[in-house]
Structure formats: structure tokens, C-alpha cells
Chains A and B, each alone.
Chain A
């Protein structure tokens, strides 16, 4: 069940068709489980695999200044990336990196600035469900290949899917969730690996749900990762700002709190602002089509001004918050991790939203 199935939405903007990060054209998401257990990886593929190579702009926001993330040098210094983004258990980072190098080499033995390098791998703490030693032993590069091969646009599996299998949030079963918002002519989507947070901090559209719930498991991971995507032609600094608004949404729902150890939000734009065909000429930047086989060179891209940017910020915060709640509601109980009790809170939230729209 997703949040909107309870008659509850977050914020005022309209979601996209699937209310998922895949509402941003060209993006696909794939999951793979490890050895049939509640463990796995999730891949966000930023452009169709038929596209040989594409550099996209990226921005990063970090709750605590440092996260388990590879590919940092290029992402931070150039503000670009070109590989799938993999969310994996921390002990699987090395093998995932290796798998993405293989994926890149399959596409281009040059391995220079293109589809294979540097891989962006985000490690998450799923040791509430899986010991580090087990994951280190059981994880195979094939899991990454499987997640990439299964990546699809359209509806996205949530809850225990992929990296969601081993996550815990607000003392209950966490997981993967997604949501999106339409902002004028653009779309912004979020995919969150909900991991961490304290039961009492859970809040739904500003209504304090957590304090009314029985306390879940007190200890556990305190790291989360979120990916924001948009088709608005944002530059790296603008994407950093967008990412920070993802953090605002995550704070509002209570996932980002005082005890958060690593909280990472990556924001990227699918509108590659790099001239097609390697033209050296100085010409206005034109948008690239999502599908390389039908590049339409249209009007030069106009920069997104501050006003439109702030509308996107609102969408990013709303989508990130709703994605967390979708993760919780879609998750299923595993081992010692129970699902978030429903009880009376949905009705209370609906009543609250009527009183304070």
C-alpha cells in the first residue's frame, strides 16, 4: 500500500503518472535480491541503455559531510557523472564497483569519460538484517548485473525490494520508496533508501504520528540515501541546492534527525547539457533527447531562473517526504523487524489535513 492509497498526499503539487522517479523521462530502476534473502541492491539508471554515453550534471548534499560513496571526485569537481547509481549494502561496495567497471568496459573499452567510469556506488548499513560477514561472503557481481538488466521505466517496486530488504526506519521495517511531482513543464522525482530515524520523530505532512506509536526497535542504522532526478536543465550548483531540499523533506518526515550518521542526497538532471557529437564550436546549449536515435535539436536551452528553481525545490521536498512514507507502507515484516503499525494515524492525518490544509 502507498500513502495515497490511504487518501493522504504530501504537499500541494501533483504527482506524475506513476508517482515515481521514473516519471522523469529516460530513467529506469532495477532491483536484485541476494540469495533469496532480505538483502539486495537497487540501480537507478539515468538514461536509456541504448544511449552509448552521456554526461549528466549532478549535485550532492550530505547531512554530515561525508558518505559512503564512490565516484566522488568527478561528481564533486566536475559536477558530472555518467554511470548508473547503485545503492548497495556497505560490504558490497568493492564488488559492485568491479561490476560497474565491467559494465562500462562492455560498453566502451576506452573507459575514459563515458558510460563506465567512475562508478557511483552508495554503501548503506543493512546490518540490522544482514551481518557484514554474510553480505561480504554472499554478494556477487551478478547481483549488480541483474539489477541493471531488470531496470525498467514505469512503476517501481518499493518496500523490501532491492536495497530495501535489509533496511530499518523509525524502529520499523524500512525500505525503498519513490514519489514524484510535476512542477510546471518539468518533473522532479525521488527515490529514497529509508534507513534510520527514531519512532518518535515520524511525522506525516507535519502531523506527529511517531509519538503516538509504540516505540520500535531502538537501535539500528542511522544512514539514508536519496536520489532526486529532474528533467529541468539544472546546472551542478542548482542541483546541489535541489539536493538540499530533498534533505528538507527527509527532515520533515523525521528520517534526517540529530542521530543521522550519513545522509546523502544526490540530485541529477537528465537534460545533458553537453553538445552532441563532440562539437567544439561555441554554440548555445541544446537539450539532448532521452533517446539517442531521435535527437531533436530544438531551441537552445534556457537557464532555469530562481523562481522556477524554488518551485522545483518544493517538489523535491514533497517527493522525498512521500517517498519515505511509501517505503514504510510498502515494506513487509522480516525477522525481528515489524512493519509500521497503521492503527488510527491515517484517519488522524486526514483530519489534520482538513483542519490545516
Chain B
């Protein structure tokens, strides 16, 4: 019996990619009282630059060669919540360490839990072997099982001997809670949606904001979702790339800092009527030859980047971080390389800066979204952000 339903992948892909590229046209009429929808741009395009290191070509996790990102976005319906019908505001974001044979050519990886009220499946093999041989998927809380199921099917299809080897990789699926806008109980993500996100994964620019797993998410009481950034890190004669992708769903408004400026206190309005958010999923990629023990140290610096945007990690937070290095596949096939630890502080600098900027990109790129029961989460007004930064003398 196949688990696949008849839902065409193409239809969902079309919807997903369209949603990534366009504002929510379907809601334009309902946004009358909200601020005028303007073009969303990334933080740097506003003249705000975080840190001192250079970004990669796309300022995205995909600047780490080989890394691919794909989104599948599900946006459907409006009005009152009808469980099982919608409104639907969800999706899946897939991150692939490389475009090759993932399950047979795993890469070094490690994870770190800042606060554990979340799910990140598949950490068994990662912790046991220090190897990641599976796609990494971000979705919403009630869809972990479906995404896992879809990803496992995708892996089994490519490697029927998945369970015969010694690694036995498992799908890595993380979640954050998006029930303020989305019919979470209806569990609209199906296994084929996870497969579609994986199949859509590509190198190059990454869609941000209300896309993929980030679709219904919010940060600092503004609309947020997916954000990414990268840094080029000089290590002696070599320069390595480190990239971060976040699914941001955390923070209280008064906490929000942008490059040290208390933007959240300067823009106290436009908050949702209720609800809180807590969690942060982070993928870190680098082409520096880091061993698992070094990757775990890298993971631990991600919360410092988060803290620079103001949030603390709360009781309800699932702040879960996974880092991988694309430098070595399998690790044992060739002589092992290891970045000398004297360079790891430079990598820390890169990951802290990229994390901070990725979170802020998720805010500046996300559109205002109306979801179930007319619940609205407003976008961070970019003109006001720029004005605050100007007043504080922090515009470039």
C-alpha cells in the first residue's frame, strides 16, 4: 500500500513558490486597517548591517557550497477556524547538506538544545556517529509525524538498504507552534508535502519570511518565519563560509533589538491581540572542516546571536540547533581534516553575526498575515524601523 495520496506535487509546488514570491493577494482587501503593504526587503537593503564580517554571495545558508533549501507553502482559506478545513497557514522547509546521495554520503553534524520544549527527530544517529545522512525539515508542531513519514519514504526510495547499514540515518524534523494563524489541529501537512519541499530544494537565493515551515510564525510580536544569512570567515590562508537558517517564532515585543537599538520599545504598537511564541529552530552550515565536537561548540554560539536580537529562551521554548559541515563526506573515506581550534573563534564570530541577521531578515521579509478567525500578525513596518535606526545614528 502506498502512503502517497493523489495530491499532485506540482500543484503544491506552484502554490508554495507563488506564495514565497508574492504578498498575500487574497487578503489585500482585508488588510484595509493595517499598514499599507510595502515591498519587503532584507535587513541590509535598509542600510542596516550586522557585525563586521563579509556576507557570502547570497547572504544565505546556500552560500555554503552544495547546501540546498526548498519550501513548500500551504496557504488556503480564510475566516473562522473549522478544524480539518482551515484556514491553512503552514508548510515545510527542507535543508539538504548537499545534492548527492545523502544517506550514503553523510556529513559531520552535531546538535545543541538551548531549551528543550520542542522536537528535533533523528538526533540518535547524529549523536551516536556525528553524522547527518538525512534531509532536515522545519514545519509546524502537529506535522512532525507527517513530515518524518514523507522524508523517510524519500530516503527509502533512494536507498532501500537504509536499515541494513550501520548508520541508519533518520529524518531530522523540527517544529514550532503556529496555531494563532493556522488550523494546527487539522494537520494539513501530508507526507507528500515534505517530499515536495525536498524536491524543491535548490542552491542560490532563499525565499524568506512567510514561507515553508515559517509560514504562520511570529517573532517579537511581528510576523516572522524563515530567515537566513551567511558570513565569510577568514581562517589563516583560507576563507570559509558559515550560513544560518532560522525558523523564528520567539520573543516579546519590548525585547526586540536591532543592532543593539531597542526597536521593540520604539515600536510598541501593531501587536497581535493575544498569544505568545517561544521557539527557534536553527540550521547552521559551514564548509570549514569541523569535527562533530567542534560543530557542537559552534551550535552553542547560536543562542548568542539570538540574544543579540533581545530574546531570552523561555520555559515554553524549543530552541533547537543543528550544525553540519559539508567539508567531508563520511569522514572516514579520506584522511580526516580538522580546522585548527585557533580559528574557531573566528567561526564563532561568523555564526553569531549570521544568526542575528537571519532572525532580523525573517522579520523584514515577512508580510502581514491574516489567518484563522481573522487573527492578524503585522509585519515589522520597515519605514519606522529605518526611522528608529536613523534616530539612533545606526544607519549606514
Interface residues of A (CB under 8 A from B): 64-78, 90-91, 93-102, 105, 109, 111-113, 117-119, 123, 125, 127, 132-133, 136-138, 261-262
* B327 at the binding interface (Cβ < 8 Å): no
CA distance A246 to B320 in the complex (A): 29
Give 9 pairs: A residue, B residue, CB < 8 Å, sorted on A: A67-B124, A68-B168, A72-B116, A94-B145, A95-B3, A97-B145, A98-B146, A101-B142, A137-B3
Q: Tell me the residues in window 66-125 of chain B with beta carbons closer than 8 Å to chain A beta carbons.
A: 83, 113, 115-121, 123-125
**B264 interfacial by beta-carbon distance below 8 Å:** no
Asked, given contacts A73-B320, A101-B142, A262-B124, whether A132 binds B162 with beta carbons under 8 Å apart, the answer is: yes
Assess whether B119 is in contact with A71, with CB atoms less than 8 Å apart. yes
* Residues 130-177 of B contacting A (Cβ, < 8 Å): 141-142, 144-153, 156, 160, 162-164, 166, 168, 170-171
Q: Which residues of B contact A93 (CB under 8 A)?
A: 121, 148, 152, 170
Q: How far is the CA of A75 from the CA of B113 in the complex (A)?
A: 12
* Shortest Cβ gap from A95 to chain B (Å): 5
B144 / chain A contacts, CB cutoff of 8 Å: 70, 97-98, 101
The docked-state distance in angstroms from the alpha carbon of A101 to that of B127 is 25
Q: Which residue of B lies closest to A89 (CB)?
A: B163
B2: interface (CB < 8 Å): yes
Instruction: Identify the B interface with A (CB < 8 A).
Output: 1-3, 83, 113, 115-121, 123-129, 141-142, 144-153, 156, 160, 162-164, 166, 168, 170-171, 179, 184-185, 187, 191, 316, 318, 320
User: Are A69 and B145 CB-contacts (below 8 A) given A76-B113, A118-B119, A137-B2?
Assistant: no
**How close is B198's CB to chain A, nearest CB, in angstroms?**
14
For residue B372, give the distance in angstroms from its CB to the closest CB of chain A: 13
Q: Complex: how many Å from CA A99 to CA B156? A: 21
Which residues does chain B contribute within 8 Å of A127, judged by CB atoms? 163-164
Q: What separation, in Å, do the CA atoms of A76 and B113 have in the docked complex?
A: 9
Chain A residues whose C-beta falls within 8 Å of the C-beta of B164 in the assembled complex: 127
- Chain B residues within an 8 Å CB radius of A132: 156, 160, 162-163
With A66-B124, A96-B145 known as contacts, the answer to whether A73 contacts B187 (CB < 8 A) is no
B152 touches A136 (CB 8 A): yes
B141 touches A66 (CB 8 A): no
CA distance A136 to B116 in the complex (A): 29
B156 contact set on A, CB distance < 8 A: 91, 132-133, 136
Partner of A73, one of B83, B118, B126: B118
Whether the Cβ atoms of B141 and A117 lie closer than 8 Å is yes
Number of A-B contacts (CB under 8 A): 125
- For B170, the chain A residues whose CB sits under 8 A away are 68, 90, 93, 123
Determine if B123 and A72 form an interchain contact, defined as CB atoms under 8 angstroms apart. yes
Give chain B nearest CB distance to A357 CB in angstroms: 39
B131 to chain A, nearest CB (A): 10
Q: Are B149 and A77 in contact (CB under 8 A)?
A: no
Measured CB to CB, the closest approach of chain B to A145, in angstroms, equals 13
**In the complex, how many angstroms separate the beta carbon of A344 from the nearest chain B beta carbon?**
36
State whether A111 touches B142 (Cβ < 8 A): yes
Residues of A close to B148: CB separation below 8 A: 93-94, 97
B171 and A94 contacting across the interface, CB-CB below 8 Å:
yes
In the docked arrangement, what's the CA distance between A285 and B345, Å? 45
Once A67-B124, A93-B152 are accepted as A-B contacts, the answer to whether A261 and B160 lie under 8 Å apart by CB is: no
Chain A residues with CB below 8 A from B3, complex form? 95, 136-137
Q: In the complex, which residues of chain B have a beta carbon less than 8 angstroms from the beta carbon of A73?
A: 113, 116-120, 318, 320
Given contacts A101-B144, A133-B160, A136-B152, contact A77 B113 (CB under 8 A): yes
Known contacts A73-B318, A101-B145, A109-B185: A65-B127 contact under CB 8 Å:
yes
Q: Give Cα A262 to B115, complex, Å.
A: 25
CA distance A113 to B116 in the complex (A): 12
Given contact pairs A66-B129, A95-B145, enumerate 19 new A-B contacts (beta carbons under 8 Å).
Answer: A66-B125, A73-B116, A74-B118, A77-B113, A78-B116, A94-B147, A94-B149, A94-B171, A95-B149, A97-B145, A97-B148, A98-B149, A101-B142, A111-B142, A113-B117, A125-B163, A133-B156, A136-B153, A137-B3
Which of chain A's residues have a CB closer than 8 A to the CB of B168? 68, 90, 125, 261
Task: Determine whether the beta carbon of A76 is less than 8 Å from that of B116.
Answer: yes
Name the B residues within 8 Å of A136 (CB-CB): 3, 152-153, 156
